[in-house]
Structure 1
């Protein structure tokens, strides 16, 4: 049975801190990879799993974490998750090898999967009134957006001042504060009629989401036609089919598919996927283009991105008030339209000569749209599902975000890489560079350095054409980025159109 909340503002603060530290870890480690590589003497493939082990475990187990919270108590599962997250932070900070660091990051992902879904479901109970809950969700969305955008900036400051291990000690301190605040202020709540845990659904769901996200991630390097990658996608597909079959027959399913028949919930999940797919076209690929191809420093990149971070926060807070008064449908549509417009303006700003103020302003429009869209989609799902299943609602919303992000990086990465390789090959053929030398040259342009172990002797006679290859690389990368931004904007606009046609003008009754 739910306990009445006595300290709602403190509970909201505790929830915000949990959201901040779990979302921060999605991006904060990326700026420390160079230092980690130097100290732990590892290769690029393993370095990727310092980042991906957290994301894959987080996304794969989030649905199970939310549903377990409904059954065992949302506060209890959140607290256990925070303890696990803290333990993973300690393992990562003390890691003496890259394998130990990857294990620590996976433990952190497990803790995040247990604790993060509870942040939204707790708000459903701490703020039972729709208006106040919408404002609280606005704070939640503002903090999550700020954490994603602030990750590289904060990570860069910590690594520069104290070394890469300081990131994980920082995580420990912030998660510890959240743990104490949650113990003191967050009320316990659970399904008043808890059913047996759907372990088969939990396992199949974790395999389905985790395998597909893993395949989408490794496919960027191995190629999406590689046998092992296709096998992973096939395994994920089979697990997904098994998950649907099991959930439809389970006495107490991990995911109630009947809720997906509600237009408000269905359209919100579509928007969640599309918006986070598009967010990473800017967060990841635009930042990569500026740093690798335009030689922007970390500080200059952070300056360009700072207005976007600010407008995500402003948009989220504005939307919280708007949704509380007018409902979710209109702000969700408008947020998508503004987000897509900002992406198209960013695309325009990246063509020709770069002007930082114009680029920052274009990205700020996108951020404002993203901030507006995230609050109503979250509120629509939470309001469309009964309170006793709020953990499930929170988990499925956040899972769609993670899947959208993973597929955004994977699909858009394949687009960018495909255009980069094709355009570079065409230009190198024009310059007379032998086809046997082209793969290493393309890798050098993509990664900004000569591949390890590559013999540069055959390239020496072509040194006079190096600048032309580099210029061709910039043009080719921009071509891929241009198409990626266009695809992202089109997908978000399609989600807006779907919502306009599908979402009800008034909230539907909870079945």
Structure 2
């Protein structure tokens, strides 16, 4: 199960270092790269609760193995993708497989380890594996891209997926909830529609404008669908998500912190990698080595966080972790300023972000599980993972859109100041968005100083967009630290309340 968990979380971050290679081979734009990165996490988040419910009813091992099979098929399609559209579709298919795999890992764990002490240790390992996968994604991805280009990532997923499928056949026990009620069809439909229209509106707004009628209509559909989803989940007998549990501060707080930390920290993986590849022309291998200290920081701190939480409760550790991660993101912005990013300040910033992230993410699932009845552990596990993936999706979409909008606005204003003819402005902006302005300094020999000024403006525009996005991301993570302090307990956790008589939501 740890291998399945590792593989599904690994693919959340593994593509971040392949952006330059994708631009060179598939001519991807920033919006394209957002969809390539986001397609996986979007489908992962959209169907997490659905497959958690299906696993509870039809068998968690059965659903998990089916998910691994779908993940493998998606990997094959990804490796063979001839264009951006097919690659996005392949990533979405892999996300569907991951959504079927992940919920069962935690639900089965609770059945394998009925003793609370053993379960606490197992849960610590579970969280550490998830954090390790996220941290190693850029490192492994960089090595693979350096060896065989971006398709190597998908061939690796294929081989790893087949291996974990074979291993799971003989090692993972079956479990289910024999008292599971009927399937929540309305939630199955409304959840993905709500998230899909929201993400699509955010990304579409980059080019169409956020006041465009069709973009506003998409936002309205997302809000309306969300309201209907909540109403349905409150009334149905077998909800995918017990909305009334959100009244419990610790449970609601754990979801909010999970969302915010993943929203912000993924700016490191997406935006920093994008800047290093496009502006500073870092190779995928160079970025991989740069992310190693961050990965090590996450690994060590996540291991120590379990002991800290066991001794003092989750409030202080999670708050401190969020503050450290937020500071690391803000320091990363400072380290990227200038014509070249100094290596040591950048490493320190990434290390600080990694240490903080490792401390913060480990206890989140524990807090969620400790705040609701044990029989709904599958729901709690799926809810926290969904919050993480939704944070990733919205973070990449919103921060990527903020980056793109700031870049275009800044560059347009600078080109006007340089008296660049209007017909050439669109050409320059397109070259920047598609990463085709590297090496343009050579044109200065032929066309004079104006080319150098345009290139400088292009680099400044990219950094302006990255800087604003990192600033927002850092503030969001810092804010989550205050949420954790306000809602989490200072007492030691008991993983899962004992089952208690409850009145389930009634269907009209």
* Local SS of the residue matching 1:437: helix
1:471 aligns with 2:452: no
Sort the Cα spacing of 1:154 and 1:460 in 2 relative to 1 into closer, same or farther, 3 A: same
1:302 aligns with 2:283: no
In the TM superposition, what is the alpha-carbon distance from 1:397 to its structure 2 partner?
A: 0.9
TM value normalised by structure 2: 0.87
Tell whether the 8 Å contact from 2:12 to 2:37 is kept in structure 1 after alignment. yes
Further displaced range: 224-233 or 329-338 = 224-233
Gaps of 5+ in 2: 501-508
What residue in structure 1 maps to residue 317 of structure 2?
A: 331
Q: Pick the aligned partner of 1:372 from 359, 383, 389.
A: 359
* Pair 1:483-2:468 in alignment: yes
Superposed, 1:377-416 pairs within 5 Å as 377-416=364-403
Task: Check 1:168–1:348 CA distance in 2 against 1; reply closer, same or farther (3 A cut).
Answer: closer
Residues 85, 299 of structure 1: alpha-carbon distance in 2 compared, 3 angstrom cutoff:
closer
Alpha carbons of structure 1 residues 182 and 219: separation in structure 2 relative to 1, 3 Å: farther
SS of 1:190 mapped into structure 2: coil
Q: Classify 1:214/1:399 alpha carbon distance in 2 versus 1 (closer, same or farther; 3 Å).
A: farther
Going from structure 1 to structure 2, the CA distance change for 1:464 and 1:363 (only over 3 Å counts) comes to same
Deviations 1:190-237 (A, max 9, x none): 234211111111111121123323333444454433444333322222
After superposition, the C-alpha distances for 1:66-108 in whole angstroms (9 at most, x for unaligned) are: 1222222222221221122223233444556766554443332
Residue 286 (structure 1) shift: 1.5
Residue 277 of structure 1 is matched in structure 2 by 263
Equivalent position of 1:202 in the other structure: 188
Aligned length: 490
In the alignment, is the contact (CA less than 8 A) between 1:378 and 1:397 conserved in 2? yes
When residues 330 and 132 of structure 1 are mapped into structure 2, their CA distance, relative to the original with a 3 A threshold, is farther
Give 1:332 shift. Answer: 1.3
| 1:211-360 pair list within 5 angstroms | 211-352=197-338, 354-360=341-347
126, 132, 152: which one pairs with 1:140? Answer: 126
Q: Check the 8 A contact 1:74/1:391 in 2, yes or no.
A: no
Q: TM-score, normalised by structure 1?
A: 0.86
What displacement does 1:308 show?
A: 0.5
Given that 2:138 and 2:269 are in contact with CA atoms closer than 8 Å, whether structure 1 keeps it comes out as no
Q: 3-state SS of the aligned residue for 2:287?
A: helix
Distance of 1:103 and 1:349 partners within structure 2: 36
Q: 1:446 to 1:92 in 2, by over 3 A?
A: closer
CA distance, structure 1, for counterparts of residue 79 and residue 196 of structure 2: 25
Q: Is the 8 A contact 1:133 1:324 kept in 2?
A: no
Q: Where does 1:159-198 land on structure 2 (aligned, <5 Å)?
A: 159-162=145-148, 164-198=150-184
**Mapped contact 2:317–2:360 kept (Cα < 8 A):** yes
Q: Deviations over 1:316-373 (max 9, x none)?
A: 1111233334332222111111111222322332234632022101210110100111
Structure 1, gaps ≥5 residues long: 1-14, 452-456
**More deviation, 191-200/69-78:** 69-78
